[in-house]
Structure 1
Amino acid sequence: MTISMSAVKERSLLGLKEISREEISSILDRAAYWESQKEKMSPVLKNRFVANMFFENSTRTRFSFEMAQKRLGAQVLNFAAAASSVEKGESIYDTVRTLESMGIDAGVIRLKPIGLLAELAEKVSVPLVNAGDGNNEHPTQALLDLYTMKQQFGELKGLRVSIIGDILHSRVARSNLWALKKFGAHVKFCAPPSMQAPELAEHAPYVSIEEALKADVVMMLRVQLERHAVGVLKSAEQYRLHYGLTEERAAQLEPGAIIMHPAPVNRNVEIDDSLVESDKSRIFTQMSNGVPIRMAVMERAMKL
C-alpha cells in the first residue's frame, strides 16, 4: 500500500495536543462501534502488516495493541528492544527504517527519548502510533480514559477531573489534559512539589489532596518512588499517607464519583488494595476499553 505523506500524517497518532476535538470524537465513536460487535474477529485489516516496536517495556500496553490488531485480522510483528540489536547500539531510527523497508503498513512505537517520535514521523512513509514517548504523551491511554468517562457520564463537558500523582513524569496526565480541555472538562492536578510540572500550571491548577477529592473523576497515577528518593516522600508509606487514595479519603468522594488509574497499580501506595476493584473503581473497565479504542486507532492507521 503506497499512500501520500499527507495521508501518512493524517493516519498517524502522535499525540492529542495537536489533533482536533472532532478527530478525537470520531475515534471514540468508532471504538463504540467495535465494542458493540459480537464477533471477536472482524478481519478488515487482513492484508496489513503492523510492527509493535517497544523500545521501552510495557507488557500490558503491547498486549492491548496486539489484541486489537489481531481482532482486526492484521499480521503482527512484535519487536522488543531488550532482545534486539538496539541494545548493541543500532539506532531507533535504523530499526524503524529497517521494518519499513520490509513492508510494514504501520508501526506502533513506545520509547523514552522525548521528541524523537516526531522526528521519526517526518522521515518514514508509514503511519506511526504513539504507545508512549518519554514524558510527552500517551494518546491511546487518554482516549480509553475519555471513552470510560463518556460511558459513565454521557458527556465530557463540565466534568470535573482530578489527576493525582507524579505529574512531572506523566505522559498520561499530559494527554488527558490536552484532550479533556478540548471537550470543556475541568482538570485539576494534585502532586507533591517534587512531582509537579510547573509548565502545566497555566492549563490546570495544582490543588491539595482534599480539594482534588471534590471531583467526578479521581485519576490516580502510578508513582515510581525511586525517581524521588529524597525528602518526605521517599517511602511508599509516606506517599500513601500524604497522596494515596486511602479508604478514609475514598469515603469522602461524592456519590457518583469514579476512581481511575492507568495501571499497573502499586496497591496500597497510590490506591488502597480494597479500592482497586470497588464499586467506584473503573480500573479494569479502562483496560477492557483499551482494546476497542486501539482497534479504532489501528483501523484509522491502516485501512485502505
Structure 2
Amino acid sequence: MAPPAAMRWPLPSVLVLCLLITPSVAIYCGEDDCYDLLGVSQNANASEIKKSYYKLSLKYHPDKNPDPESRKLFVKIANAYEILKDEATREQYDYAIAHPEEVFYNTARYYQSYYAHKTDPRAVLVGLILVLSAFQYLNQCTRYNQAIDMVKKTPAYKNRLRALELERSGGTVSRKKSNKMDKKVEEELSNELELQINGAEKPSVWGLIGVRFMLLPYTLIKFMIWHICWFWRYKVKQAPYSWEDASYLTQRSLGVPLHTWRNIDELAKEDLIQRQLWIKSNRESYLAEKRKESKRRR
C-alpha cells in the first residue's frame, strides 16, 4: 500500500535529508576514523603516518595474511593512508572533523578533490598552444594554396610563364606548341617564378603561435637591446639615421604595412626616405601634396 501523498518525499528532499543525517566525515573513511585506522593521533606528522601504514601493511596485506577479514581491513587502511598522506585532503578531513555541521561544504570539497580534473595546467597550456599552432599552419597553407590557384588562372601569370619559357628556350618555341604548355614544363616554370602574394604569404613555422611563445624571452631581450641602442645612437650621440633605420621611420610614419613597403620601387622608396617624413612638418607637407595631386586627377 502506497503512503499518503502528504507523507511522500520528493527525491531531491530525500537526498538532502540523507546528507543531513550522514556526517560529512563518513565520506572519507566510512564509520571509522582515518587516524584510528592507522593507529596514530591527529597530531601525527607525515613520517609517523607513513611508518604506521607500512607496519600495518606487513600485518594485514593479503599477500601476508590470507584471512578475508584482514583483506577488508587492509582496504580501509590503504584508503585512510591515501587521505592522510596528502596535505590537502588531510586538511579537508581535519576541517570536516572540526566542523561536522557544514555538511554541504565538506561534501563539495571532498568530491572536488577526488573527481576534479588533475591535469597539470602547464600541460594544458602547452597542448592548447600546439593545437592553435597546428590550426594556424593549416589555415596559412589553405589560404596560400587558394591564392596561388587564383593567380595561376590570370592572363598575367600565363604571360609570365610564356615569357620565361621563351627565355629558357632562346625563343625557339613553335606557335603550335605555345598554344598549350606541357603540364610538367608549366610546373617547373611555376616553381621558378616563386610567386609572392600580399596577404597570403608562404606558410612558415617562424610565424606560428607556439614558436613565438617559445622565443618570447629572446624576443623581449632583443627588443630591449634594440631600444637601448637606438636611444644611445640617436638621442645621446645625435648620430644621423642609417638607411635601414630611416626606412623604418618612414614606413612607420606613413602607416604602410611592412609587406607593402617592401614591394615599393627602390627609387620611390629612396625619395620618400630623403623627405624625412618622420618629421611632422615634412609629413604634413607630403600628405598635402598627395591630396592636391589626387584632386587634379579627378
**Superposition TM-score tier, normalisation by shorter sequence:** under 0.3
More helix by share: 2
Question: Scaled by the length of structure 1, what TM-score is found?
Answer: 0.17
Which of the pair has more CA radius of gyration? Answer: 2
Question: Scaled by the length of structure 2, what TM-score is found?
Answer: 0.17
